[in-house]
Structure 1
């Protein structure tokens, strides 16, 4: 049985409503055509660059967490830059495929889906939590502190909280872990909570018997913001290291603008540069709601590991891509 918390109404309906919102804020078809013509048919230069992202936790403050990057991109490109909070990854995928989102923050799996379903995008960089750390993180399987569940093998027959069907750490890697533990797909009830915070909070409250969320959401974010107390959740499973979430640029931009945005994200979208140049203050410059140091360029094959996980899980989302 599959249920969803009210925060998410369904991928396609959400994508449609989000695209309607983006269309209202983004360039019209005529404006896009004019921009394309002015660029000699080689790419567009929109009046406003649109950044799209899905909140890892409740959306309050998500735009503020990108504000230093937004201001830096305004200075680098000379264009207005607007941030749009999407309801789910399907909305971001459709928005960037249609050229209405020019810069998008994905999770690893949603990027994999986007790339393999026709989105013309390029990875500018992967999230780095701390300076000089390799880009990567893990998914946790968590249970309430007083649960008698001791390992992922005990998840069979239980009510589980996942995050989003297009989430690497909130669905794909947990699915791989369940199958590796010998649990047949469907031998659990599931809820897609809509966010890593919602999944962990629901599990702590006993609404799900076990759940999944990425590591720093459980270890730091929810404890720091008071959503849960330290010790409310017990970690009983960890995934292998997952490649960090990518930020991408729409390939349909004018080449000079594309190069400018790529360089800015790779070289200047980090705490060191942003603090040094007055976009934010030391100690108050955590970027995105995942509180990262910044992004760094990664090799072209960085996300190939997802092929292996898709092969192991044969998840419907993988085959759809």
Structure 2
């Protein structure tokens, strides 16, 4: 009986120690994690918004987590493809681009809008005082897009205009990639562009509303002349090659940040969104097909 008790006690101790051992194992393998976010606003805005989250993640995981500020969407895609960025917050199309170009990644968390939906829209802004009422009214004018890998700022607009029978590169006098959603709005504000595509959740939250809260623009100075169909919300993805125990720890930390560190979560979304939820690659397969379609349009145009 004594021997059996000793064996049982030893087994229980080993079981209790297993999680700690696994944690120590991933800390030895990955002493530092790099987190990056596609640049939908300026660098200082990204830093202010995501630094509390990165600090929370480091505390929960017990390893150093460094925030990397990317110059463009492609830098985040390439960073994960090369294995240099362990965790990334994408737009749907930039995630699709990463997968298409061979990045070995897994989406594990999705943004959730304040109304509980897991989607948002691409909208086309013009100045409120302008005469334009539709995309068709903008023929021969200047258009601001965001980035070639932006969902709401390039891929969805190009797909939507194709369905209208419009080729933006010939329909507009000039098409400009502004580099970020903020810069696209500023382009219209300053008159560089007559219209700009951007992301929009609902009447209470959009990139324009965020800019208004920061004093960068007045929402009433702009008007929407086009709104797309619903787009699946943005995913967070980590490298497939990370230790399984680390991926589990990252996923748990992210899915619970809204309760474990509400201030850090609210800093990301100004308190305007609901907690992250779990997601899988399957949810983004339609976006991957859309990006491939836009790629084919571009190839056909070059070949003609």
Q: TM-score, normalized by length of structure 1?
A: 0.76
Contact 1:92–1:101 under 8 Å retained in 2:
yes
Provide closer, same or farther for how the CA distance between residues 194 and 54 of structure 1 changes in structure 2, counting only shifts above 3 A.
same
Q: Is 1:253–2:247 an aligned residue pair?
A: no
- After superposition, what is the alpha-carbon deviation per residue over 1:77-127, rounded to whole angstroms, capped at 9, x for unaligned? 210111011011111111111111100011110100101211111101111
What is the SS of the residue equivalent to 2:260?
helix
Q: 2:5 matched to which residue of 1?
A: none
- After superposition, what is the alpha-carbon deviation per residue over 1:12-33, rounded to whole angstroms, capped at 9, x for unaligned? xxxxxxxxxxxxxxxxxxxxxx
Distance 1:169 1:44 in 2: 40
Provide closer, same or farther for how the CA distance between residues 151 and 158 of structure 1 changes in structure 2, counting only shifts above 3 A.
same
Q: 1:268 matched to which residue of 2?
A: 256
Q: 1:78 matched to which residue of 2?
A: 62
Give the drift of 1:133: 0.9
**Aligned partner of 1:153 among 132, 136, 159:** 136
Distance 1:95 1:230 in 2: 35
Q: CA RMSD in A?
A: 2.8
Q: 1:136 matched to which residue of 2?
A: 119
What is the SS of the residue equivalent to 2:266?
coil
**How many residues are aligned here?**
271
Distance 1:311 1:255 in 2: 31
What is the SS of the residue equivalent to 2:75?
helix
Give the drift of 1:204: 2.4
Contact 1:56–1:289 under 8 Å retained in 2:
no
Q: Which has the larger radius of gyration?
A: 2
Distance 1:291 1:109 in 2: 23
Give the drift of 1:264: 1.8
Contact 1:55–1:289 under 8 Å retained in 2:
no
Aligned residue runs from structure 1 range 54-133, under 5 A: 54-130=38-114, 133=116
Q: 1:233 matched to which residue of 2?
A: 222
Q: 2:194 matched to which residue of 1?
A: 209
Contact 1:122–1:249 under 8 Å retained in 2:
yes
Give the drift of 1:315: 4.5
Q: 2:184 matched to which residue of 1?
A: 199
Q: Is 1:173–2:162 an aligned residue pair?
A: no
Q: TM-score, normalized by length of structure 2?
A: 0.80
